[in-house]
Each structure stands twice: as structure tokens, then as C-alpha cells.
């Protein structure tokens, strides 16, 4: 009985609260609807672009990957279902002399250099600038300069520097009495030369991100570490790294997402008709060449794109999940 009375009193109190709660003015409702309408209208162009140029094109590529041209009629081309494009892909990946295999191996070189060299080098350089050692302002400009100057300018300057008769060759000849090999015209050194160029020009953006994150670390945290006798190495790994982990992990995920799309400025280094153009291939550049090859249908490059997307997507999602376990507060 008492429970029923108490429940009735509670319901009556809630009803009174509801009655006393002021109703939202009609003008406020209209203003809120206008705000939502404005937001939706701003998102509409991006949604249309995503639907047409991302979902539409990628779905079409997925369909084309399982097709081949079977007949030509007056009204167009007739396609039929096939796995021939994927069989060709797997076969070419096994043979070391094929352009597909060469492009795959070169892509791994670009990806590995970015993950193993560029990111750690960016982090160490950012820490050097963060500590404001001698000349840090000058080096900050020098390190970030390649990221803001057009790539064509740097490619031309780089080619002129390492070419026979250039500054590097002249200095080498003066010291050792011989000329340097033609790095860009040698099948064994061409790709690694472009990889070195990408390392030199590629860490400016990550450097800026790391430096900005380090600049937000409270000074009292660093001072407390110094009072505890923490040196530079321990400070970098035990204090700075955990404090900027969201930025650091994001750049790692972005680098990993390019596992099969990593590439250098191949078009700027390649020369039309050069015998080494295929030796410098990456997967992305190989797909580009196949797309514009009049003797090859679009179904084969579509199959390449679908295969490497399907392979890389679970890998990236797994890394995101692992990083989420390391720091659940960070949303990727």
C-alpha cells in the first residue's frame, strides 16, 4: 500500500515538473530548423561529390574488375563475367621481370622508406626544434621549405645537382678524380634515388604536425621531469611521446593506409620513351599507364585497384583497432 502511495506521489511530482517546464518558443523552433537546413545545404555538395565521384566510380571499378569484353556491336561493347583479370594479376606478381612485379616492389620501397625513415626522422627533427637548440630557427625553415615549394622546381634542382657535370659530380671529381654514376639512368639506382628525394622532401608536413603537438605540452610537465633527473632520451620517449601520441599515431595510420599507393613523383622524373620508365614503376603509376594504354582494356587496371584495396583495408582497420586499444580516448 505504501509503495503504491509513494509511486502515485512520484508520478504527480513528475507531472508538475513537466507542467512547470517552459515550452520552447515558436520563434526558437524556427531558428533551430533554419540552422539545421543551413548545415544540410552546406553538406549537400560534399554528399553529392562523395556519392558520384567516390561511391559511383569505385562501384563501377568493382564491376569492371569482374568483366571482360566478349563482343562488339553497333550499340556498344558486350561484357561477360570473368576472373581472368585477377588470374593475370597473380601471374604477373609472381614473375620478377613483369612491370606489375617491379611496380609492386618499388611501391614497397616507397612505403617502407616513409614508415621506417621519414616518420622517425620527422619526429627526431621536431624534437630537436622543440628543444630550441642552436640554429633551430634556420633548420626549421630549411626542413619545411620542400613542402611549400612546387615539386617541379625541386625535381629540376635535384636532377641538376646529381647529374654528370653538376655540383655533386664536380665535387666528387675534385676529391676522388672520377665522376659519379648516372643515378637516374641506372636501373639499379634510379628508384632508390627517387626514394631518397621523397625522404628529403616528404617529412616537412609531419615535422610541422609534431612540432605543433610538442608546443602544446605544458612546461611544468617537462620541468618536473628535469627535477627527477630525466635526460633527453627518457624525456622524448617517456614524456613527449605519450603527450603527443594522438598526433603521432594519426600520422602512422595515414602512412600505413598508403601501403599499396605509396609513390614518388615518377612523372616528373620519367622521360618519355626512356628505357628506365618501367623500372621506376609503382602500382599507382602502373595503373595510370594501363588506363591510358590503347592496347589494354580498363578491366585489368580496375582489377588491380580492387585487389589492393581489399588487401589493404583490413590491414589499416586492424592498426586502427590496435591503436584504439593503446589509447581508448583517441578517436581515429
Q: What are the structural domain ranges in the chain?
A: 92-326
Which residues are 80's β-sheet partners?
Answer: 68
pLDDT in tens, the chain (332 residues): 445 445 454 555 555 555 555 555 666 767 777 778 888 888 898 899 988 888 888 888 898 889 887 777 777 778 888 899 999 999 999 998 888 898 899 888 888 888 888 899 889 988 888 887 777 777 777 777 777 777 778 788 888 888 877 888 888 888 887 777 777 777 777 888 888 888 877 777 888 889 889 888 888 888 888 888 878 888 888 888 988 988 898 888 888 887 777 666 776 776 544 545 567 788 888 888 888 876 778 889 999 989 998 888 888 888 888 887 777 776 65
Torsion (CA) 210, 215, 218, 222 in degrees, nearest 10: 70
> Under DSSP, is residue 69 helix (H, G, I), strand (E, B) or coil?
strand
Q: Could you give phi then psi for residue 66, rounded to 5 degrees? A: -105, 25
Are 251 and 206 a contacting pair, CB within 8 Å? yes
Are 122 and 206 a contacting pair, CB within 8 Å? yes
> In the prediction, which pLDDT does 10 show?
53
Are 304 and 283 a contacting pair, CB within 8 Å? yes
Cell numbers linked to 303:
582489377
Are 110 and 98 a contacting pair, CB within 8 Å? no
> In the prediction, which pLDDT does 1 show?
46
DSSP state letter for 96 = T
Domain 92-326 CATH superfamily = MetI-like (1.10.3720.10)
Are 100 and 305 a contacting pair, CB within 8 Å? no
d(CA 9, CA 12): 5
> Under DSSP, is residue 244 helix (H, G, I), strand (E, B) or coil?
coil
Angle at 258 (CA atoms; ends 315, 200), nearest 5 degrees: 140
Give the closest residue to 66 by CA, choosing from 87, 54, 91, 84.
84
> In the prediction, which pLDDT does 87 show?
93
d(CA 286, CA 278): 8
Tell me the C-alpha to C-alpha distance, in Å, between residue 101 and each of 120, 266, 313: 28, 17, 21
d(CA 34, CA 38): 6
Q: Could you give phi then psi for residue 79, rounded to 5 degrees? A: -110, 155
Q: Could you tell me how many residues make up the chain?
A: 332
Return the number of other C-beta atoms located less than 10 Å from residue 229's C-beta.
7
Nearby residues of 91 by Cβ (< 8 Å), 6 or more positions away: none
d(CA 290, CA 300): 8
> In the prediction, which pLDDT does 23 show?
54
Interior/surface letters 118-146, b for 16+ CB within 10 angstroms, e for the rest: bbebbbebbbbbbeeeeeeeeebeebbeb
Global pTM reads: 0.75
Determine the angle formed by the axes of helices 136-148 and 119-130, rounding to 10 degrees: 140
> In the prediction, which pLDDT does 5 show?
43
Are 265 and 194 a contacting pair, CB within 8 Å? yes
Return the number of other C-beta atoms located less than 10 Å from residue 323's C-beta.
19
> In the prediction, which pLDDT does 307 show?
92
Give the closest residue to 322 by CA, choosing from 249, 273, 254.
249
Amino acid at each position: 500500500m505504501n509503495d503504491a502511495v509513494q509511486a502515485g506521489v512520484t508520478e504527480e511530482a513528475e507531472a508538475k515538473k513537466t507542467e512547470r517546464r517552459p515550452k520552447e518558443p515558436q520563434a526558437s523552433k524556427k531558428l533551430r530548423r533554419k540552422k539545421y537546413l543551413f548545415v544540410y545545404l552546406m553538406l549537400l555538395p560534399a554528399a553529392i561529390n562523395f556519392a558520384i565521384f567516390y561511391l559511383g566510380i569505385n562501384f563501377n571499378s568493382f564491376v569492371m574488375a569482374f568483366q571482360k569484353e566478349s563482343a562488339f556491336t553497333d550499340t556498344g561493347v558486350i561484357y561477360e563475367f570473368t576472373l581472368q583479370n585477377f588470374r593475370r594479376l597473380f601471374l604477373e606478381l609472381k614473375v620478377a621481370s613483369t612491370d606489375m612485379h617491379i611496380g609492386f616492389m618499388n611501391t614497397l620501397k616507397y612505403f617502407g622508406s616513409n614508415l621506417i625513415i621519414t616518420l622517425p626522422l620527422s619526429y627526431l627533427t621536431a624534437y630537436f626544434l622543440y628543444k630550441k637548440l642552436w640554429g633551430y630557427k634556420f633548420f626549421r625553415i630549411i626542413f619545411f621549405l620542400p613542402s611549400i615549394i612546387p615539386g617541379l622546381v625541386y625535381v629540376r634542382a635535384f636532377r641538376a645537382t646529381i647529374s654528370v657535370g653538376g655540383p655533386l659530380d664536380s665535387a666528387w671529381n675534385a676529391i676522388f678524380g672520377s665522376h659519379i654514376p648516372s643515378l637516374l639512368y641506372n636501373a639499379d639506382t634510379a628508384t632508390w634515388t627517387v626514394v631518397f628525394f621523397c625522404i628529403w622532401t616528404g617529412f616537412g608536413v609531419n615535422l610541422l604536425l609534431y612540432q605543433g603537438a610538442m608546443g602544446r605540452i605544458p612546461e611544468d610537465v617537462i620541468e618536473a621531469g628535469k627535477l627527477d633527473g630525466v635526460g633527453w632520451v627518457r624525456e622524448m620517449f617517456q614524456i613527449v611521446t605519450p603527450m603527443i601520441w594522438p598526433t603521432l599515431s594519426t600520422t602512422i595510420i595515414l602512412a600505413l593506409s598508403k601501403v599499396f599507393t605509396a609513390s614518388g613523383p615518377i612523372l616528373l622524373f620519367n622521360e618519355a620513351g626512356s628505357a628506365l620508365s618501367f623500372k621506376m614503376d609503382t602500382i599507382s603509376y602502373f595503373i595510370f599507364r594501363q588506363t591510358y594504354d590503347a592496347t589494354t582494356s580498363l578491366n585489368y587496371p580496375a582489377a588491380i585497384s580492387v585487389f589492393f584495396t581489399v588487401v589493404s583495408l583490413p590491414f589499416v582497420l586492424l592498426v586502427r583497432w590496435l591503436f584504439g586499444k593503446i589509447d581508448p580516448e583517441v578517436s581515429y
